[in-house]
Chain A
Amino acid sequence: MVFVLFSCAKPTEKKISIQNEKLKVLTVNYPLFYFAERIGGELIDLNYVIPDDVDPAFWSPDEAALSQYQKADIIFKNGADYAKWMNSVSLPSSRIINTASSFEKDLLKLNNTTSHNHGPEGEHEHDGKAFTVWLDLELALKQAEIIRAQLVKKIPGESALIDQNFEKLKQDLLSLHKELLDATKTYDNQVIIGSHPVYQYLSRAYNLSLKSVHFEPNEYPSVKQWENLNNLIKENESSIMLWEDEPSPQIQIELDKIGISSVVFKPCGNQPSEGDFLSIMHNNLNNIKN
């Protein structure tokens, strides 16, 4: 029995200890990068390999970027089927941390599905989940909490500093959350149109009645898209449209004609050229207030 007990484990220091090198951390989007940066600070070797002109949700890493992910000690993923490229590449599962693991049951399903009938499981559907979870700042805080827990686990000697950094971030997120709750009260009886289906969690967290179309701020919509928007306005008597970025003047002129005012609420999935996650969210808050 003693032999059995002690023969079970060959201690392996590999990867579990950090040794003298900093923990290499990568994330799949900017909000997680920001949280990790705030919590880990100088304690971690945090890298951001996503180009600034892409949406990280639909980006795929090239060989060099993938190699970085493969070498990372921790990869923080967003969960909710975000960054589908992760399903097409080889990554070490023990180093991938799902930051949405504590609220899986609260994730929202997308409506559009594709169903087909083949293979051993017969008819099945391609469903998806809404993924911009960080727009609900309480969920963002839960993601940050998972980052905190992982960093404490990997760098136990620095847990006090990590906790301290996390508390500061927590205060910032909660304060912003409260301000957003207050600001969105003015929209209580209005239907808001989302230019893109990315505001599901924002809508749920801040009690917004939201309907979505599929417009791009820099692409003039087709006749069919305008038709969809007009139908939506007729049905819901809406006068406000949320945009991921400032819509082009051409679009704004058309929107003015049908009495729609634009409010920019940037999801901030990718690293902004100016400011950071918190400042962008504050700008969003101000845009909503105005």
Chain B
Amino acid sequence: MKQSFYLAVKYLMFYKFRTLVLTISIGLILFLPLGLEKLISESESQMLERADATPLVIGAKGSSTDLVINTLYFEKNKIEPIHLGLIDTLNNMDLGYAIPMLSAFKARDFPIVGTDLDYFSFRNLSIATGRNLQLVGECVIGSEVANQLDLSVGDHLVSSPENFIDLAGVYPLKMNIVGVLGPANNPDDYAVFTDLKTNWIIMGLGHGHQDLQSINDPSLVLKKDSTKVTASAKVFMYNEINTKNLDDFHFHGTMSDYPISSALFIPKDVKSGIILRGRFESKELKEQIIVPSVVVENLLQTIFRIKKIFDMVFALVGLATLIIILLIVILTLRLRKDELFTMFTIGSSKYKTIEIIGFELLIILSLSLSIALVFYWITGFYIETFIRQFII
């Protein structure tokens, strides 16, 4: 048997290219259904886990899927904003508490999520290094943001401007990184968290500039009297918030009118959740309220239907591969006719010949399986990418 294994190895090594092609082909055929199964089942459990952990989402009327995806995955969908005042209305109902969410901007391709401190305790997010948010202009980054951008506490992250041409519009804000979250294996790892007010500053609803009462440059001040100063757009605006200029930052208008993308609502019990949903359904409140798990389950149903089609395709491809392998074996035997005859004439039995070919097939299958398992293991690292690219 040892000799048969030795001869099989030697034969496969002699035909390296053919062995390699066969091994990779079979490996891929084995991997594809396994990998897809893993991607889909892991994506399903990750998505459902996040949806299940989020009792209710409230937002403007429109696509419930877009609303849930924006709120849970911070994808920049076009959803209508709601007003911050709704948070107070919800909190005053004594049915639980609401967490405001604002996800509209990005910093180096990672979403900037404006929220408040309740979000971190609600999601059980822990600060791995540094501290949590304290002042506007600060940000706490997810573990993957820190890894991929090689950032840590004390570094800065600049928000991406929406429009390079509109100089008087949304300003890029240089945010101070004060904390890095521990890995959570969910979209929070890929987010840049700020206070809501920091997001409003990026939006231009709040800003910091020179003290208008003390400047005398006529090109900066258009009009000035005892009660009113009118400044021009030339006034220098701060693009970073620090302890020196913190007091110069201010907001205009009523904060309760400021926009947020949505709100998470955590009812104090099941009954409170049902009462709140009733208030939205009875049009007492004009926004929509969503149970994220229901929306995500509907979304996954489509994926499952596609997966069934893929399963059928893989079964057919697998069958075709099996036939091809059989054909290759038969053709190989024909090509090796002289070699096998020589072996037979020098005293090798028929059984020995089958043993050698069996070992060859076994080695190829083992190598293929190893390749499939390596790919399967690597797939685990791409669950989040798969969710983002193909599901949401």
Contacts and interface: CB of A to CB of B under 8 A. Distances in A.
A, B co-complexed: yes
Interface of A: 4-17, 60, 63, 66-67, 70, 84, 87-95, 98, 101, 111-121, 123-126, 153
Contacts of A117: 222, 230-233
Contacts, number: 163
Contact of B53 (A10, A11, A92): A10
B102 interface: no
Interface in B51-98: 52-53, 55-56, 87-88, 91, 94, 96-98
30 contacts: A6-B270, A9-B56, A9-B269, A9-B270, A12-B55, A13-B268, A14-B121, A16-B96, A17-B268, A60-B247, A67-B134, A87-B251, A88-B135, A88-B249, A89-B135, A90-B132, A90-B133, A90-B135, A90-B197, A91-B116, A92-B117, A93-B88, A94-B91, A101-B88, A116-B209, A116-B212, A117-B232, A119-B204, A119-B207, A120-B203
A188 B1 CA distance: 118
Given A10-B52, A93-B91, A5 B117 contact: no
A112 B213 CA distance: 11
A120 B170 contact: yes
Instruction: Give the secondary structure class of B's interface.
Output: mixed
B262 interface: no
Nearest to B265: A9
B273 A91 contact: no
Contact of A15 (B97, B100, B233): B97
B300 interface: no
A118 B134 contact: no
B228 A8 contact: no
A116 B228 CA distance: 10
B288 interface: no
A177 to B, nearest CB: 27
Contacts of B196: 93
Size bracket of the B interface: 35 or more
Contacts of B188: none
Given A4-B294, A120-B170, A124-B252, A11 B134 contact: no
Contacts of B91: 93-94
B212 A114 contact: yes
Nearest to B169: A120
Given A9-B270, A88-B247, A93 B231 contact: no
B268 A91 contact: no
Contacts of A8: 55-56, 267, 270, 273-274, 277, 291
B232 A116 contact: yes
Given A4-B291, A120-B170, A113 B228 contact: yes
B135 A92 contact: no
A87 B258 CA distance: 13
Nearest to A116: B231
B235 A115 contact: no
5 closest cross-chain pairs (CB), A and B: A9-B273, A116-B231, A94-B97, A90-B133, A118-B233
A165 B176 CA distance: 46
Interface string B106-118: 0000000000111
A9 B134 CA distance: 30
A88 B255 CA distance: 13
Interface of B: 52-53, 55-56, 87-88, 91, 94, 96-100, 116-118, 121-122, 132-136, 138, 168-170, 195-197, 203-207, 209, 212-213, 222-223, 227-233, 235, 237, 246-247, 249-253, 255, 266-270, 272-274, 277, 291, 293-294
A94 B98 contact: yes
Contacts of A4: 291, 294
B55 A10 contact: yes
Given A90-B116, A94-B91, A120-B169, A11 B268 contact: yes
Contacts of A17: 268
B274 A116 contact: no
Contact of B204 (A13, A16, A120, A123): A120
Greatest chain B CB density within 10 A among A12, A14, A87, A116 is at A116
A115 B222 CA distance: 10
A88 B197 CA distance: 8
Contact of B94 (A7, A67, A91, A153): A153
Nearest to A111: B227
Nearest to B251: A87
A123 B55 contact: no
Contacts of B253: 124
A111 B228 CA distance: 9
B117 A70 contact: yes
Contacts of A12: 55, 96, 122, 266-268
A117 B96 CA distance: 41
Contacts of B294: 4, 7
Contacts of B138: 90
Nearest to B121: A14
A98 B89 CA distance: 12
